[in-house]
Every structure is written in C-alpha cells, then in structure tokens.
A = this chain, B = another copy of it.
C-alpha cells in the first residue's frame, strides 16, 4: 500500500511539472546534440594527447589543455589543485611465450599490471599453475606453488547483465593476486584479462602488493583472453609446460600533478556546491577515450551546456577533473580533503566513469528519501529513453566526499561493450559514438539542472558538513 501511495504521489507530481522543466530538458538535449563540445574535446584528448597515465608528460598536457578549454568558457573561476601522484612507467613492450618443449614456443599477448615490478632484464621462466580463486591457491599450498608462476584464470561471468558486476567478481585476481601468490612462494603472476570477449588484447589495471616487503614482490602481468584460453588448454594437456615473460616496468618517486577545477558560482546559494566530474588520467595502452576521456569531456560540457541553455544556476556548479583515479585515487582524496578543510558544503556529486556509451540512467548512493526525490523526476527523462534510477555506487573519485545527506550519483551508460576496451590498447576514440557521448552529457546536465533548481530534499536530520 505504501508503494501504491508513492506511485499516486509520483503521478500527482508528474502532472504538476511546470512546463518549464520539460522545456529546459528539451533545450539541454537539443544543445548537446546540435551544439555539443564533448566530442571535439575528446578528439583532442585522445588523438592529440593520447594515454594520460598519472605522472606522465601526457597527463600534464591534459591538465594544461582542459584548464585552457575551461577558461575559454567564461566560468566564474578555473584553477588547478595541486596533488602528488605516483609515477609508474611501463618501459619496453612486454614479451611472453608458452614453452611446451625445448625450442617449442608459442608467443602470447601480455602487458604488465600497473604497479608491478619488472622481471629480471633477461626475463622469468618457470612452471605455471592455473587457479580460479584464492581458495584454490590455499588448497594447493606452498609445496605446489613455490618457484612457479601462478595463472589466475577465473573468467568474468557472462550471465550478469551489468558487466560491472562481472568485473567486480573477478578483479581481486588482478588487484591482489601477486600479493597472495607471493605468500605461497610464487615467482610471478599471470592474470586473465578482465574482458568478457575472447580477443587478443591484454588489459592492464591497478594491482597492489599491500604490505609485502619490496624484496618479496613478484612481477605480475595480464594475458589476453584468447591466450588465457590457449594457456589453459595447453596446461590441460601437459602440466609441465613452462611460461616465460619479460617486463621492465618501474615505480618512480611521486611527482606533482593537479586536479583541474572550474566553477559557476551560485546566484542564490553559492555555498551549496554541486560537483560533476570524471578522471583526467588514464592507462597508457590506448588513448583512454572511454576511460575516462568521455567522463572528462561530458563533465566539462555540463557547465557549458547549462550556460548555452540559458540557465543561471542558483547553487555553485563545479566541474572537477580528477587526477590519478587509476592507480592511487590521489586526486579524489585530495579534493575531498581540501573541501573538508575549507568546510565546504557539497550537496550533490555526479561522476561519469563508465564509458561514453548510450546513457541508461544513474545509480544513486543516498538515502531512500533522497532517492524518492529523484524518482519523481523520472517522467522528465522518459523522452530521452533514460529509465534507470536505482540505488548503487556513485564513483571512486566522488566517494571520498561521502557524508550524511550528500547525494552521490554515477552516470550509467549501456555497459555491454565497456570491457571490450577497458584498460586495453583498443580504448580509442573511434570506439566512441558522438551521439552516445552527447546524450550522456545532456543527461548529466539535466540532472544537475534539477538538483540545482530544487536542491537536495529532504535535507537530512544529521549533517556532518560544516556550513
């Protein structure tokens, strides 16, 4: 009955929409589809700059470029927020093969995982043992693992409709596999790429040794899904095959970098801050068009589209291009730390970091009451086929802003193709469709417009935020 009551409320609310909200959303979507800038910006970021790994020259070029572009928009303020970031370099292209006998080798496609140590300069050759889980590793025990390379081969589950769930079910192999295998005496780690498709691209991504002493760290690399299948098949025929790989990646000292920030200061409630953002860094193999070039340019375009649509925000709208989401989250943490130190009141933060595909809606990390507020806006989005408004994660970079009462949201584009490209050399501009990217920017702008106009309601009882 409660459900029915809220449906009645929604219907009552729906019919009471001021014509203007419908019209404003129409204007915003028309602007993004006919006068959007996100695709042009993404072209530059992808094709003139390219992969933007934290601490790299490209990352600094991206800081300069986006700052300059934001400055050209006539915002009230644009600035750089300094943050120290890790600098890991891949070095020469990795090389690997499976050896089935003397002189009998088959080359396979690998790439070092971000944060991994190198092998010896001449490479590492050892027996290889396949597992699907940490539990299997435990069952095998030190006696079966010592001196070997561990091959983590648990595939992403095809039956999960949301591919991010499938990713979540596998990524611990990549992130923690080396640390755990090292505890059993392994000398190296090979991880099946986080990819639902069978192809030849190895997918990199962050890994961590946790508290493992430097001298205990073992090299870890991702192998393409096709080659993971090949390796698994060869192991089924002969447990004694050897695996060779060579990589000379390296962790260097931290370097100075920046979050890039621009804002339109609110006309009525300048102290209520709305953040929209994506991350400016990317992995180094592709040009980072989907991850997260798309989120960067969409977030920049939110402020531009508000202006182009003739909207004067009541609240402060801030675009934040976070540095170092991929291998450290230093930018996200720094932004929240500074906001807290300044006693800033963030009421809503929206992140786009799930690719530039057709938007389906948002996931919200907020109270039930605040979700109900959003659900009342659903009918406004129906003409644009935006239908997904559910509880869920906001995003890694905005998560440090979490306090009672804030609404965190993540744009949810169609996820089916995302892991075909994620962290691989085929995360490139030509795989982003202009209209899909622009619809994402329009969808984000529309939600920001509504939160700006109506604020976050109900205002929670407990506020940890200093005002």
Contact = CB atoms under 8 A, between A and B. Distances in A.
A317 B34 CA distance: 45
B387 A34 contact: no
B433 A161 contact: no
A385 to B, nearest CB: 6
Contact of A435 (B196, B360, B434): B196
A11 B387 CA distance: 18
Given A385-B360, A414-B414, A439-B416, A197 B434 contact: yes
Contacts of A416: 358, 433, 435-436, 439
A310 B11 CA distance: 41
Interface string A1-32: 00110011001000000000000000001100
A341 interface: no
A158 interface: yes
A295 B326 CA distance: 39
Contacts of A33: 158-159
A11 B158 CA distance: 31
Given A414-B358, A433-B416, A383 B161 contact: yes
A388 B383 CA distance: 11
Interface residues of A, number: 31
A80 to B, nearest CB: 34
A95 interface: no
A384 interface: yes
A420 interface: yes
A453 interface: no
Given A416-B433, A420-B433, A29 B385 contact: no
Interface string A372-406: 00000000000111011000000000000000000
A417 interface: yes
How many copies are assembled?
Answer: 2
A224 to B, nearest CB: 16
Contact of A385 (B196, B383, B388, B435): B388
A387 B435 CA distance: 20
Contacts of A161: 29, 383-385, 439
A161 B159 CA distance: 29
A163 to B, nearest CB: 8
Contacts of A34: 158-159
A435 B434 CA distance: 22
B387 A387 contact: yes
Contact of A11 (B4, B384, B434): B4
Interface in A420-441: 420, 433-436, 439
Contacts of A436: 416-417
A161 B436 CA distance: 10
Interface in A82-107: none
A433 B4 CA distance: 39
Nearest to A439: B416
Q: Among A33, A197, A383, which residue has the most Cβ atoms of chain B within 10 A?
A: A33
Interface string A356-371: 0010100000000000
Contacts of A434: 197
A30 B414 CA distance: 19
Contacts of A388: 385, 387
Contacts of A358: 358, 414, 416
A34 to B, nearest CB: 5
Interface in A154-169: 158-159, 161, 163
Nearest to A30: B159
Interface of A: 3-4, 7-8, 11, 29-30, 33-34, 158-159, 161, 163, 196-197, 358, 360, 383-385, 387-388, 414, 416-417, 420, 433-436, 439
28 contacts: A3-B11, A4-B11, A7-B11, A29-B161, A30-B159, A33-B158, A33-B159, A34-B158, A158-B435, A161-B383, A161-B385, A161-B439, A163-B435, A196-B435, A197-B434, A358-B358, A358-B414, A358-B416, A360-B385, A385-B387, A385-B388, A416-B433, A416-B435, A416-B436, A417-B433, A417-B435, A417-B436, A420-B433
- Closest 8 pairs (CB-CB, A-B): A387-B387, A33-B158, A416-B435, A30-B159, A416-B436, A358-B414, A417-B433, A33-B159
